[in-house]
Structure 1
Amino acid sequence: MISLTDVSKTYPGGVTALAAVSLEIARGELVAIVGPSGSGKSTMLNIIGTLDRPTSGEVRIDGYDVSKLPDRRLAALRATGIGFVFQHFHLAPGVSALDNVADGLLYGGLRRAERRRRAAAALERAGLGHRLGHEPHELSGGERQRVAIARAVAGDPPLLLADEPTGALDSVSGTGVMELLRALNASGTTVVIITHDREIAAALPRRVPMRDGRVVPDPDTGHRTGRDADRGAGPGRRHAGSGAM
């Protein structure tokens, strides 16, 4: 699903956020990219999500070399192949949960009735079937994050990227959000979680620790975590590049 080869990212002023990172994540994996602030993990997410381009190196998502995709194809990959969840929910105020999720499908060319049908199904899957008409201010933090996750997966993308999805939540709400992400992974979605929380990372099947823009050995196992890392079993796994969207 994800293949990075010698990927580096240097910003103006000579700031290196990623330094020759090589990483493979197979279809169906549940992975934590973990590290302190400034380790490069958010830059990694932006590059995996095609929100940013590397200074050098190759990035393949679901078999596509993203550097060779024209802008329209790249936008289509981002819109239909990748779901994004962020620490802050980015829900539209004064808009129901149903329409917050349905509006995430606007660029898919679907009719309004179909967008709302898919949105309702995604919210049911997220355990919010009873909150369809509630606006963000009427929801708890955990419920708002569930709405954001429902919006990210309403289009059934094969890859979900979650950037500190529990960072703004209390421990109970955070546990519920992690259970939802596990359930999505069990149904076949590849889930990559960016986190600084080592407890969250330790509970996941695979960890990719980062420091100073590099992937480093997992301190809990001593194993390599990049291209040659051992991987546990996962649902619906195929080698990256074996499918097309």
Structure 2
Amino acid sequence: MTTSPAPVAPPAPVAPVVELRGATKSYPGGVHALRGVDLTVREGEMLAVVGPSGSGKSTMLQIMGTLDKPTSGTVRVAGYDVGELTDAQLSALRARHIGFVFQHFHLAAGRDAVDNVADGLLYAGVPLRERRARAREALTKVRLDHRFSHTPNELSGGEKQRVAIARALVGDPRLLLADEPTGALDTASGEVVMELLHELHAGGTTVCVITHDNEIADALPRRVRFRDGEIVSDTCAGRVECL
């Protein structure tokens, strides 16, 4: 008598990288920066959060990156409800899951590219020698292996932004949040940075670009358009709505 093999359980579903449900953000004086936003970002996506100044997209960055909490609603990052976490737990969640790239680089003057990138691991408990080794790997990934010893004043704007991207990537985050990453760059440097973000996405990184530039947004696979604190459209690869 033969027995059938035991059924194999399907793999557990992977939690979305970020999930917002009914998220609002209000400030004194009746200012409503977010109005009941629902958004899901899944592993491996590349999307733009796009809108004019004052539309709510910067607030979205703060909420998605756990730099701020919503006034109401639920925000989950990697399956964790951020409203239930302490400040220390939020810091650990950011360090493990989220990398940030800002318009104005935020590099330390007088410190070379390796140390600027290694600083991205300061709060991860990684020894200095390993931090620097991983920083060199990240700089090589953004094609700056010839600039290890250069300080910010010896780098072009595009190179500074690539150092900032390397710093965001050195902790191997699930999500890269890029806030107006080309805003302080000339056209050619901006194109290099966007090309690099596309390469990182192709390698498996989830990338979210916050921008006011419709040309940049239209070149990404998913566009989430904001106006007056609300999502007015969410389009994927030509479809009207994203799954």
Q: How high is the TM-score relative to the length of structure 2?
A: 0.90
Say which one has the larger Rg: 2
1:217 aligns to what SS in structure 2?
strand
- Tell me the amino acid that sits aligned with residue 212 of structure 2: H
Tell me which residue corresponds to 1:85.
Answer: 101
What is the CA-CA distance between 1:71 and the residue it aligns to?
A: 2.3
What is the CA-CA distance between 1:218 and the residue it aligns to?
A: 5.4
- Tell me the amino acid that sits aligned with residue 190 of structure 1: T
Tell me which residue corresponds to 2:10.
Answer: none
Whole-Å separation in 1 of the counterparts to 2:239 and 2:78: 29
What does 1:26-65 correspond to in 2, within 5 Å? 26-65=42-81
Contact 2:222 2:234 in 1 (8 A): no
- Tell me the amino acid that sits aligned with residue 240 of structure 2: H
Whole-Å separation in 1 of the counterparts to 2:189 and 2:113: 18
Give a deviation string over 1:62-100, Cα, whole Å, max 9, x none.
Answer: 111111122222110011210000000000011101111
1:16 aligns to what SS in structure 2?
strand
Whole-Å separation in 2 of the counterparts to 1:218 and 1:111: 42
Which stretches in structure 2 are left out of the alignment for 5+ residues?
Answer: 1-16
1:13 aligns to what SS in structure 2?
coil
Whole-Å separation in 2 of the counterparts to 1:7 and 1:76: 22
Tell me which residue corresponds to 2:178.
Answer: 162
Tell me which residue corresponds to 1:138.
Answer: 154
2:74 aligns to what SS in structure 1?
strand
1:115 to 93, 115, 131: 131
Residue-pair matches, total: 226
CA gap 1:219/1:109 in 2 versus in 1, 3 angstroms? closer
- Tell me the amino acid that sits aligned with residue 26 of structure 1: R
Whole-Å separation in 2 of the counterparts to 1:83 and 1:151: 8
Whole-Å separation in 2 of the counterparts to 1:58 and 1:70: 15
- Tell me the amino acid that sits aligned with residue 47 of structure 2: V
Tell me which residue corresponds to 1:223.
Answer: 240
1:104 aligns to what SS in structure 2?
helix
Tell me which residue corresponds to 1:241.
Answer: none
2:222 to 206, 209, 223: 206
Which stretches in structure 1 are left out of the alignment for 5+ residues?
Answer: 231-245
Whole-Å separation in 2 of the counterparts to 1:222 and 1:10: 32
1:104 to 120, 124, 135: 120
- Which of the pair has the greater relative contact order for Cα pairs under 8 Å at 6+ separation? 1
Whole-Å separation in 2 of the counterparts to 1:71 and 1:108: 15
Whole-Å separation in 2 of the counterparts to 1:94 and 1:113: 19
Whole-Å separation in 2 of the counterparts to 1:162 and 1:216: 21
Tell me which residue corresponds to 1:238.
Answer: none
Whole-Å separation in 1 of the counterparts to 2:167 and 2:49: 22
What is the CA-CA distance between 1:217 and the residue it aligns to?
A: 2.1
Give a deviation string over 1:22-44, Cα, whole Å, max 9, x none.
Answer: 01111110000000000000000
Q: How high is the TM-score relative to the length of structure 1?
A: 0.90
Give a deviation string over 1:92-145, Cα, whole Å, max 9, x none.
Answer: 011101111111211111111000000000000000000000010110000000
Q: CA RMSD in A?
A: 1.4
Whole-Å separation in 2 of the counterparts to 1:126 and 1:117: 15
1:105 aligns to what SS in structure 2?
helix
**% identical aligned pairs:** 63
Contact 2:222 2:235 in 1 (8 A): no
